[in-house]
Amino acid sequence: MAGKRYPGAMTSSTPADDWLRLDRQICFSLNAASRAFNGVYRVILKDLGLTYPQYLVMLVLWEDGDQPVKRLGERLRLDSGTLSPLLKRLEAAGLVRRERSARDERSVEVRLTEEGAALRERAVQVPRRIVAATGCDVDEIRALRDRLDRLTSALDAAVAAETGETASR
């Protein structure tokens, strides 16, 4: 990274210590917002008996249906070491089943149980409550989400360029 010039890079006319202020760090603002969201989700999801990461797993399964653990992890940007305990807890709660694939024994399929599928009806209110908690309207939320998606793609591409890997997410 040394010697490379990035858009928005510090120039010699920018006081170096201004760039190192905590309130100038986008990563800190994103982290603080993420922690605040997690707090709101914790309260809202308590009624469903889910944690925020478990809710994300359920969202993917409600949207895409049964799928291999590997694809679920890719979609959620979670490694197997993080995803496996989540799935184990969801299975213990009776919301999902994990089964070896009949087509490929190395692959484990995740399936909703009847109880897991039925939970979707109770979860419909969650996004509305989250939007209300933000104080933003739906268009503002959509625009922010789109901008964050573009930011994520740009950051993935930057990491891939630095490491010589392909941006896979």
Q: Which two tokens stand for residue 9?
A: 């890079």
Architecture of domain 34-119 in this structure? Orthogonal Bundle (1.10)
Predicted confidence band of residue 1 (pLDDT cuts 50, 70, 90)? very low
Query: In whole angstroms, what separates CA 91 from the centre of its chain?
Result: 20
Convert the pLDDT of each residue in 21-78 to its tens digit. Answer: 999 999 999 999 999 999 999 999 999 999 999 999 999 999 999 999 999 999 999 9
Burial class of residue 27 (count of CB atoms within 10 Å of its CB; 0-12, 13-18, 19+) = exposed
Predicted confidence band of residue 164 (pLDDT cuts 50, 70, 90)? confident
Convert the pLDDT of each residue in 73-119 to its tens digit. Answer: 999 999 989 999 999 999 999 999 999 877 777 889 999 999 999 99
Handedness of CA 37, 111, 97, 79 (dihedral sign): negative
pLDDT value at residue 41? 97
Convert the pLDDT of each residue in 150-159 to its tens digit. Answer: 999 999 999 9
Tally Cβ neighbours within 10 Å of residue 22: 9
